Chains A and B, each alone.
Chain A
């Protein structure tokens, strides 16, 4: 079972309290009607699916109920960090340095 740190509750808790909410930092277009079919495909369906550090959203469903973002390595399943929704994307180099 994963142990996940909720940045709002500031506690590290079991995975069972959380729900996964897919890739993070996907921004909906300001003006949807201006989007082409290719842009809609990209927004709706195409995902990074990276093998390695992955920016993703989680929700503390059985806790504060809030969404937050995380960086998790999809090979080891280790969390590199979690941060509040709306915060800028953390720099990957500084995160992986801290791991070594």
Chain B
């Protein structure tokens, strides 16, 4: 692996950029690994990276049925924030935001983290009360979040329509200044490059068809498209397909998989300086460095594994965007897509050991897994290496659905994830 620095960039520029070495090899599976991670998205590759760098475990394979970063890592709207209501969530997501700050330096790979601020708009009295409660709760947890008046919102985001006659009047907003966006593909690539440099095998286009168990119940390895691979530990980080994979090990999870849609516009010059989320009308928007408006929509109402989603949701989202930002009402949309997200009943993630010895799972991120990538990967690696959870992910067990100790962000937070 060539380290990126000013000297190597200059040297390669002078030789026509023809001498760069490959960033990670296209590995073929060995017979046996210490740890097999199922799913080569940001979470899975990140876990491999932290296992290698912080826990000294390098005999690892990360296996994916497609290409790395081709699932939800490459399909989300790249929003990063940590203004969650409950203590457990605030700690987990703020841990991720802490890691985002210098992730580019850590990985020697530019993930283009931009803390341009995430502004959540309040359109009615309930929104105002709920968001102010969030601001107070966040500040008690040491999470950056503050209240902006209508005029301050307009100043922070000039394209906003704050007319009192607007269909969705802006009554203020909650601004997390430290929040922002990052380049989603670069996160997967950076972790992949860092992990591969330390000896991790990244095996693409190789579906894991089943998890095999020993006679004593512990995990034995995985059946794949390229044959059986033995493993001491198996860690599943397969987003919308987690329950399908885990079922083969006899573990049933409280998950349902829904398509979550997003769309982008034609690229234009810089017009949109921040990220704006309007939960009441379901409109999330930012502008990518390429110039496209990146717009997040909602989940379809029915469970599905088709990465398409229905058009009624797109229509609803675009209608809301053009009301809140009339400046965009003649923008043309280029494409839309969906990713399959695994949703838990309490809308909080699971980073946990399982009833099967040697089997671990990181799932249930629903519609908001990208922002947590470094934090989830870091605590998941800890859980795999030490066979016990990190204090930050300790509340996010599978067990909570039996004990009733839920982390109920869905009902109380009134935020999209």
Q: Which residues of A line the B interface, CB within 8 A?
A: 1-2, 15-16, 19-20, 22, 37-38, 40-41, 44-47, 49, 51, 54, 56, 72, 74-77
Q: How far is the CA of A54 from the CA of B252 in the complex (A)?
A: 16
- For B403, what are the chain A residues with a Cβ–Cβ distance below 8 Å? 37
Q: Is the interface of A mostly helix, strand, loop or mixed?
A: mixed
- How close is B311's CB to chain A, nearest CB, in angstroms? 6
Q: How far is the CA of A87 from the CA of B308 in the complex (A)?
A: 31
How many residue pairs link A and B with beta carbons under 8 A? The number is 59
Q: How far is the CA of A2 from the CA of B312 in the complex (A)?
A: 10
Q: Is the CB of B256 within 8 A of A38?
A: no
Q: Is the CB of A1 within 8 A of B254?
A: no
Interface string of B296-320 (1 = CB under 8 A from A): 0000011111101011100000000
Q: How far is the CA of A15 from the CA of B304 in the complex (A)?
A: 14
- For A45, what are the chain B residues with a Cβ–Cβ distance below 8 Å? 254, 345, 401
- For B257, what are the chain A residues with a Cβ–Cβ distance below 8 Å? 49, 74
- How close is A33's CB to chain B, nearest CB, in angstroms? 16
* CB of B243 closer than 8 Å to a CB of A: yes
Q: Is the CB of B312 within 8 A of A15?
A: yes
- For A77, what are the chain B residues with a Cβ–Cβ distance below 8 Å? 302, 304, 306, 308
Q: Is the CB of B255 within 8 A of A47?
A: yes
Q: Is the CB of B402 within 8 A of A38?
A: yes
Q: Is the interface of B mostly helix, strand, loop or mixed?
A: loop
Q: How large is the interface on B (under 10, 10 to 19, 20 to 34, 35 or more residues)?
A: 20 to 34
Residue of B nearest to A70 (CB): B302
Q: Is the CB of B311 within 8 A of A1?
A: yes
Q: How far is the CA of A77 from the CA of B308 in the complex (A)?
A: 10
* CB of B241 closer than 8 Å to a CB of A: yes
- For B308, what are the chain A residues with a Cβ–Cβ distance below 8 Å? 77
Since A46-B401, A49-B253, A49-B255 are in contact, a sample of 20 more A-B pairs with Cβ atoms closer than 8 Å, ordered by chain A residue number, is A1-B310, A1-B311, A2-B302, A15-B310, A15-B312, A16-B312, A20-B301, A37-B403, A38-B402, A44-B401, A45-B345, A45-B401, A46-B254, A49-B256, A49-B257, A51-B305, A56-B303, A72-B302, A77-B304, A77-B308
